[in-house]
Amino acid sequence: MNSFGINKLALFGAIIVGIMVMLAIFAPVVTTHDPNEINLGDALIGPSKTHLLGTDSLGRDIFSRMVYGARISLSVGFVAVGIAVLIGVTLGSIAGYYGGQTDSVISRFIDIMLCFPTFFLILSVIAVLGPNIFNIMVVIGVTNWMGVARLIRAEILSLKEREFIEAARAIGASDLRIIVRHLIPNGIGPVLVSATLGIAGAILLESGLSFLGLGVQPPTPSWGNILTEAKSTLGIAWWITVFPGLAILITVLGYNLLGEGLREIFNPHRRR
């Protein structure tokens, strides 16, 4: 039987994700520096005992900005994917359970949404609504639910004719109860895998938007806007670019490894 204990991919990914989450939660304990405190006398100091990852052009501690920035990046990932899963599971469940014309309409809507270039759609909406963290979470969520909807629809199509569903119908269970209590819990495995991988994608999207100036706005730290501030000092302060870039890389890698590990756990036939 496969589990976290013997699945090295899932375990390693979970460790990375767990460390990042703990750093974000306990940011005030991990660092004593104020991430927004400006001290021009300490500008562009390299990594040292006082400033573990150096300082930026305004003398702000990079380590503290990265730790507090982890809160923003991870929050965007979790909330955006939560919105996407909620929309996707709802529409996919309805389409898979009722079938017929309902399935056809929802499936065509999914196809239409998939035709839009997601990143440019997000850029357009953010440009109209304004760049703040709430808008970013919502926009990423409502433009990335289609894969979840397809996954849960396929699972419910294969589950709804099983004996335990027929038994639930025979005792008079309502459609809502059958979907919520029986179908979704039994078909949620692939959705969890997709959600885990989706968090990595949402973090990358938020970082990209912040790098372009359309994401989290300064002085609030996020990994993306730290990289934006590093552009002007790239040749003389390598640490401002390298450490946030590594944080994004390691976090996304952790979620991808966790997702692949979960895929093997829920689909043991994929194992070689």
> Considering only CA atoms, which of 215, 229, 80 is closest in space to residue 145?
80
Q: Does the pLDDT at position 269 exceed 70?
A: no
- Residues 201, 223: Cα–Cα separation, whole Å: 14
In a domain, 236, yes or no: yes
Q: Does the pLDDT at position 180 exceed 60?
A: yes
In a domain, 220, yes or no: yes
Q: What is the pLDDT of residue 160?
A: 87
* Residues 6+ positions from 123 with CB-CB distance below 8 Å: 209, 212, 214
In a domain, 169, yes or no: yes
Q: What is the pLDDT of residue 262?
A: 83
Q: What is the pLDDT of residue 92?
A: 94
Are 59 and 38 a contacting pair, CB within 8 Å?
yes
Residue 26 banded pLDDT, cuts 50, 70, 90: very high
The pLDDT tens digits for 82-126 are: 999 999 999 999 999 998 899 999 999 999 988 888 888 888 888
The pLDDT tens digits for 136-178 are: 889 899 989 999 999 999 999 988 888 888 898 888 888 899 9
In a domain, 56, yes or no: yes
Q: Does the pLDDT at position 2 exceed 90?
A: no
| Mean pLDDT, residues 203-216 taken together | 85
In a domain, 40, yes or no: no
3-state secondary structure of 217: coil
In a domain, 106, yes or no: yes
Mean pLDDT, the chain, rounded, equals 87
At 266, which CATH number?
1.10.3720.10
Q: What is the pLDDT of residue 6?
A: 57
pTM: 0.86
Q: What is the pLDDT of residue 1?
A: 44
In a domain, 266, yes or no: yes
- DSSP H helical ranges for 43-145: 62-98, 100-115, 118-129, 133-142
In a domain, 79, yes or no: yes
Tell me which residue range forms the domain holding 113.
Answer: 8-35+50-270
Q: What is the pLDDT of residue 134?
A: 87
Q: What is the pLDDT of residue 272?
A: 45
The pLDDT tens digits for 4-21 are: 555 777 888 899 999 999
Domain count, the chain: 1
- Residues 114, 17: Cα–Cα separation, whole Å: 29
Torsions phi, psi of 102, nearest 5? -60, -45
DSSP class of 55: B
